[in-house]
Chain A
Amino acid sequence: MAAAAAEFMELALEQAKFALDNLEVPVGCVIVEDGKVISSGSNKTNATRNATRHAEMEAIDILLREWQGMGLDQPQVAEKFARCDLYVTCEPCIMCAMALSILGIREVYFGCANDKFGGCGSIMSLHQSSSAELSGEEIPGPKGYKCTGGIMAEEAVALFRNFYEQGNPNAPKPHRPVRIAPQ
């Protein structure tokens, strides 16, 4: 199991490197069903100018397009997600952690923790959502998922370090440069 996890995390790291090469924050992921990678994604927040386009969102959209193309309806898609595991280089943020709960993903494996806005244990624990509040059968309740962190975390952190050394080209300039009048 651990060997398989490392293998999938390698693939996620490749996606993260792809992001880095494209001047994106280096996070990557793969989605696995029945031991096979069925989707992958890398962070595209700079290219899209949409800060919600995290690796997870990219990989999820690929699957939704594919499954809808096959004519699957909502309950069938929900069944599919319930058989999928996600391998991502960095702990899902609060947004993605909630998204994964909404989709009802089975399990999540991540590399380094995200101590600024991690949603799977660091800042919030959205993977532990309980369905206590709305247990009526008619309204589907919150979905928790199993979450394991620390898989090849050093490699994931090294990519971040690379990125911040080269600088985020899209970050706003902190101040306008001070103009010095020519002598």
Chain B
Amino acid sequence: MAWELTEVPGNPTPSLRGSTVEVIAAKIEPKLANSLIRQLSQACPLENLRHVKRVRRCCEYGEKSELSIILCLATGPEHCSEMFPQDVKKIVGTYELNTFIAKVARFPATSKEEWEEQCKLWPTSYHPPHDLDGVSGFKECELPSIFNCMRTALRLSEVGNAAVVVDPSTMQIIAKATDQTLQHDSLKSNKCAELNSDSPFSSLEVTEKKGSRLFLSNSNVSKCNSLNMEASCLNPWGWMKPRPSEQKSLPCEGGFPWHPLRHAAIVAIENAAERDKVMFPSIISSTKPNSDGNMEYYSVNESAKRLKVDRNDDKKIAHEAICDDLSETRPYLCTGFDIYLVWEPCSMCAMALVHQRFKRIFYAFPNPITGALGSVYRLHGEKSLNHRYSVFRVKVPESYSNSSGDCSDKC
């Protein structure tokens, strides 16, 4: 099995039942096709059925193919040729067409499977998401870098979830984060529980982790389809459980030794926001770097150089020029950015990603317990939201997860 990318549609594949429209069609001589298409598209354009092809070709018996053409929508009861628009009636008369009722799909297909179903009724056209615009979908040439970003997230994921925010226009990593729901020392063991077992923790597999990061992501993908119950999105209520051998307060990022809501996606958003504040300080309000002085996630590149210039008082003119420049280029939240998550997010995290205006969400493993992007809910199909993103699942090959620690060098 190779690395694979599939879109997680916002709506479950709708069944065709109830989503079809009746049309009046007629068999025609192939040589008439062109002329009839032209006349009918003027006399009776199918405005709301642009995805439906006007002509169907059936080659049922041997080589002789038969053509049928849609005349118009079937508006009334059968045998009501009076219901035809006048122009259509004229065409039917002129060419002595025998009409019949056919069913066509009411809406354009949103997936290849759905399209294949539709074509059994009457052919439709289908535009896969990545062919449409490349804005919210993906291009084939992006695949290697998409898989590479997911490898980065997988390597980052020690026990729980991990998140990597990427600007796809530059392939620059904007922020990274892991779950911070539990105290660090209680994270040292990797707990992997099978959902199918009678008692969730009876087959508990506790493994000491000793520097082998990859081993842990291996168990994420283990063949038995087991679930990593330490990933906060999979077990959001798990923080309440008493934890043995707890050491007192080791404040970490954000000033909390542990925090029930600091799931990887939430922390990544916070890190991206901090970076935004440092790199694009607003001219009016005085922005100071965050209290921890945590700069580890800021990538060293041209933007960081800008920051240096920014702080240099001698180059005031340059500073002003940059401020002007930044006010134009400063991103609004995470607009246009992608996020890579090891596990499908829960509804808290999925909604946080809507709020922060991400463009595309990639996750490796579905979350059957609280997953909000396909498994339990499909938040991204919710029409009332003020922002929409596309969701993709990256299927990680078993060979990647089963290979030894050297793999991380290879990637």
Contacts and interface: CB of A to CB of B under 8 A. Distances in A.
Interface of A: 45, 47-52, 57, 60-61, 64-65, 68, 71, 73-75, 77-78, 93-99, 101-104, 115-117, 119, 123-124, 126, 133-134, 136, 138-143, 170-172
Interface in B342-389: 346-352, 354-357, 369-370, 377, 379, 382, 384-386
B384 A116 contact: yes
Contacts of A117: 351, 354, 382, 384-386
B145 to A, nearest CB: 26
Given A74-B243, A139-B237, 15 more contacts: A48-B273, A49-B273, A50-B269, A51-B356, A64-B260, A68-B258, A73-B246, A97-B347, A99-B348, A102-B261, A103-B260, A123-B384, A124-B347, A136-B199, A139-B201
27 contacts: A45-B355, A50-B356, A51-B356, A51-B357, A52-B352, A52-B355, A68-B249, A71-B248, A73-B242, A93-B351, A94-B347, A95-B355, A98-B346, A102-B260, A103-B260, A104-B240, A116-B385, A116-B386, A119-B351, A123-B384, A124-B377, A139-B235, A140-B238, A140-B240, A142-B237, A170-B332, A172-B332
* Those 4 A-B pairs whose CB atoms lie nearest each other, nearest first: A95-B351, A50-B273, A98-B348, A51-B355
B242 to A, nearest CB: 5
Interface residues of B, number: 52
Contacts of A51: 269, 333, 352, 355-357
A103 B242 contact: no
Contacts of A73: 242-243, 246
Contacts of B236: 98, 101-102
Say what secondary structure dominates the interface of chain B.
Answer: loop
B177 interface: no
B277 interface: yes
Interface in B240-287: 240-243, 246, 248-249, 255-261, 266, 269-270, 273, 276-277, 285
B237 A94 contact: no
A167 to B, nearest CB: 15
B352 A95 contact: yes
A77 to B, nearest CB: 8
B239 interface: yes
Nearest to B272: A50
Interface of B: 199-201, 229, 235-243, 246, 248-249, 255-261, 266, 269-270, 273, 276-277, 285, 332-333, 335, 346-352, 354-357, 369-370, 377, 379, 382, 384-386
- Indicate the member of B240, B335, B356, B379 with the most A CB atoms within 10 Å: B240
Nearest to B354: A117
A119 B377 CA distance: 13
Nearest to A50: B273
A78 B241 CA distance: 9
A78 B248 CA distance: 17
- Indicate the member of B200, B201, B258, B355 with the most A CB atoms within 10 Å: B355
B268 to A, nearest CB: 11
Contact of B242 (A57, A74, A95, A102): A74
Contacts of A170: 332
Given A138-B201, A139-B238, A64 B256 contact: yes
A77 B183 CA distance: 14
Contacts of A94: 347-348, 350-351, 379
B161 to A, nearest CB: 14
- Indicate the member of B237, B238, B356 with the most A CB atoms within 10 Å: B237
Contacts of A139: 200-201, 229, 235, 237-238, 241
B269 A52 contact: yes
Contacts of B357: 51
